[in-house]
Amino acid sequence: MAEVLSASPEEIYFTGCGTEADNWALVGAVEAGRGRGRHIITSSVEHHAVLHTCRHLERRGFRVTYLPVNGEGVVSVEELRRALRRDTVLVSIMAANNEVGSIQPIAQLAQAAHDRGALFHTDAVQAFGHIPLSVEELNVDLLSASGHKFGGPKGVGFLYIREGVPLESFLHGGGQERGRRAGTENVAEIVGMGEAARLSAARMEERAVYVGQLRNYLIRQLRREVPLCRLNGSRENRLPGNASFCFAFVEGRSLVLQLDADGICASGGSACTSGSGQSSHVLLAMGLPPELASGSLRLTLGEENTRAQIDRVAERIAVHVEELRNQSPAYQEFRQGRGPRGILRYFPGNS
């Protein structure tokens, strides 16, 4: 893990998952920084591992600023500079988003935080092993990752803590992890995560090129075959394997079920909240109306996937979207020119 990040092994601390690493980074940093202030800055598109920890800290008297994002899900460095205060202890912005794959300008954001004396944490759970990350180049103080996102086992993660960064312990007990994270280490999973890190780093570029081309092919096919299909986020500035779409007049959850019956694994937005029935907070923050945000579908590609599979996925999605729309009274009204036409502005080039 240290090698992949250009860190030193003493700066890597093993945790039970990415969620624990995020919780530890936030709670540990603000507790250690109480002397400086009680203000935290994060973004409105973070994973709930960060957002819910912020809510918890708000209940304990900390103040949190949630930065907005642009239509492609990206935080503005200028906006961060304006939000930073003398009492800001920590800025936490994810490296890449889990729903729409947008990649944040981490090095510039970290610089802005450091210019005002705040620490910078990045949740790199989606990015580690998929895009190059060097803690030297990014200049982050804290970075979280999770084994199962890069081919390792589930239930293990780690937190990078830059040498000298003050951080309160989160788990108290024995002296494991140099006295900073108590609890017997899960050696088998840690070894598995290490091997996965080695493998993912060894062929990262080659894999990213292949998977990125496949993803672009999927985007082209879907746009060609399905009317009123929107790609969420930017085409270029995204994780290689991430493709997120919204289909007007379709419930994402229904589409996921139909695809599941075809043996195609997809998720309606974030996999972690796909059972909750709520519209994605990420898509809403990117400015999509709730009726469109509820029609989202996320497909994640890997190097095992092929063009033939993409053709089948596009064909099945086209069939199901048409079936679902035919059952939708709102779509019938729209087709007859009676429904709201405003929705068209979210589908440039479509009719």
Shortest distance in whole angstroms from residue 322 CB to ligand PLP: 31
Distance CA 6, CA 1 (A): 9
Minimum separation from the CB atom of position 34 to ligand PLP (A) = 25
CB of 84 to ligand PLP, least distance (A): 23
- Asked if 92 and 122 count as a contact pair (C-beta separation under 8 A), the reply is yes
Nearer to ligand PLP, 301 or 321 (CB): 301
Sequence-distant (≥ 6) Cβ neighbours of residue 17 within 8 angstroms: 146, 154, 155, 156, 157
Q: How far is the CB of 194 from ligand PLP (least distance, A)?
A: 16
> How many residues are there in the chain?
351
Residue from 17, 229, 246, 272 carrying the catalytic annotation: 272
Calculated CA dihedral for residues 338, 341, 342, 343, nearest 10 degrees = 100
| 49: contact with ligand PLP by CB under 6 A | yes
Q: Residue 208 belongs to what H/E stretch?
A: helix 204-225
Residues within window 187-226 making contact with ligand PLP, judged by CB under 6 A: none
Active site residue 17: no
Residue nearest to ligand PLP (CB): 18
Q: Which of 42, 43, 126, 305 binds ligand PLP (CB under 6 A)?
A: 126
The answer to whether residues 41 and 170 touch, using CB atoms and an 8 Å cutoff, is no
Three-state DSSP state, 97:
coil
Contact pick of 123, 141, 177, 189 for ligand PLP (by CB under 6 A): 123
The reply on whether position 171 binds ligand PLP by CB under 6 A is: no
Contacts of residue 211, defined as CB under 8 A and 6 or more positions apart, other chains included, come to: 240, 241, 301, 302, 303, 305
- Using CB under 6 A as the binding rule, whether residue 125 contacts ligand PLP is answered as yes
For 39, list phi and psi in degrees, rounded to 5.
Answer: -110, 135
**Count of residues touching ligand PLP (by CB under 6 A):** 14
What residues numbered 136-155 form the site for ligand PLP, per CB under 6 A?
146
Restricted to residues 77-116, the positions that interact with ligand PLP (CB under 6 A) are 94, 98
In the range 244-283, which residues lie near ligand PLP by CB under 6 A? 272
For residue 92, what is the enclosing H or E element? strand 88-92
Chain positions contacting ligand PLP, by CB under 6 A: 17-19, 22, 47, 49, 94, 98, 123, 125-126, 146, 157, 272
Catalytic residue positions? Answer: 272
